Structure 1
Amino acid sequence: MNIALWIIAGLLAAASLGGGLMLVTQSREKLVASGLGWVEDFSPGVVRTIGTLKVLAAFGLILPALLDIAPVLVPIAAIGWVLLMVGAMITHLRRHESQAIVVNLILLAFAAFVAWGHFAA
């Protein structure tokens, strides 16, 4: 199970880091053009905050366990990711973007697995 937790946490961290850096570094217009229409519903500051939270989650999912420094931060980061995905699903539901909800639900399930696996250990 430990290997599965590392793999899932690594995949989540990679997705989180990539998505977060994109939200932090690109303009709203470029994000909308790349298919992220939801950014039109939020101010630039909120979009950058979400991006920053995703970058922090990426580090929180991996570094505490890897360095064995406060490993309790891994499931806390995973719970943060679950909450982020709940917010994302609400946003996509309001925008009638059902395909995005499916992706959010899968990522939520992965994050819940990481949280459960680390709290249960």
Structure 2
Amino acid sequence: MNLALWIAAGLLAAVALSGGATKMFTPVAKLAAAPGGGWTGDVGAGFVRTLGGLEFLAALGLILPAVLGIAPALVPVTAVCWVLLMVGAMITHGRRGEFAFMVLNVIYLAVAAFIAWGRFFLEPFTG
């Protein structure tokens, strides 16, 4: 189970890092023109950059606390925060009728919920 949780955290961290970097460094006009990115044209650039920063921090929070052994309890807390972020993403895509992206958000939410459940209850970090 520990290995499965590490793999899930690594995959979700890669998703968060990729999405965060894209939102932080890609011009909003280019994001708005991309499939599933139309919502970025409806909000301010600062909001998009903030979400990107939060995703980047989530990538760090899913891995670094456990690897460094500094406050490893932050890993499942970060996973819960990711679940909340995905709920917001699903609402946003649902309002826009982008149901394929909602399915992707549900998958990311499920992975994060697995990490949170696993690290809170099944294989918590000790020490």
Q: Secondary structure of the residue that 2:61 maps to in structure 1?
A: helix
Task: Give the corresponding residue for 1:92.
Answer: 93
Q: What is the TM-score normalised by the length of structure 2?
A: 0.93
Q: Give the whole-Å Cα distance in 2 for the aligned partners of 1:54 and 1:41.
A: 19
Q: Counterparts of 1:1-121 in structure 2 under 5 Å?
A: 1-35=1-35, 36-120=37-121, 121=124
TM-fit CA distance, 1:74: 0.2
Q: Give the whole-Å Cα distance in 1 for the aligned partners of 2:26 and 2:111.
A: 27
TM-fit CA distance, 1:67: 1.0
The share of aligned pairs that are identical, in percent, is: 59
Q: Give the whole-Å Cα distance in 2 for the aligned partners of 1:29 and 1:86.
A: 24
How many matched pairs? Answer: 121
Q: Secondary structure of the residue that 2:111 maps to in structure 1?
A: helix
Q: 5+ unaligned residues in a row in structure 2: which ranges? A: none
TM-fit CA distance, 1:34: 2.5
Segment drifting more, 23-32 vs 49-58? 23-32
Runs of 4+ in 1 over 4 A off after TM superposition: none
TM-fit CA distance, 1:3: 0.3
TM-fit CA distance, 1:52: 0.4
Q: Give the whole-Å Cα distance in 2 for the aligned partners of 1:27 and 1:95.
A: 21
Q: Give the whole-Å Cα distance in 2 for the aligned partners of 1:61 and 1:33.
A: 30
Q: Deviations over 1:44-79 (max 9, x none)?
A: 111111000000000000000111110000001101
Q: Give the whole-Å Cα distance in 1 for the aligned partners of 2:46 and 2:101.
A: 22
Q: Give the whole-Å Cα distance in 2 for the aligned partners of 1:45 and 1:8.
A: 30
Q: Give the whole-Å Cα distance in 2 for the aligned partners of 1:89 and 1:63.
A: 27
Q: Give the whole-Å Cα distance in 1 for the aligned partners of 2:89 and 2:34.
A: 17
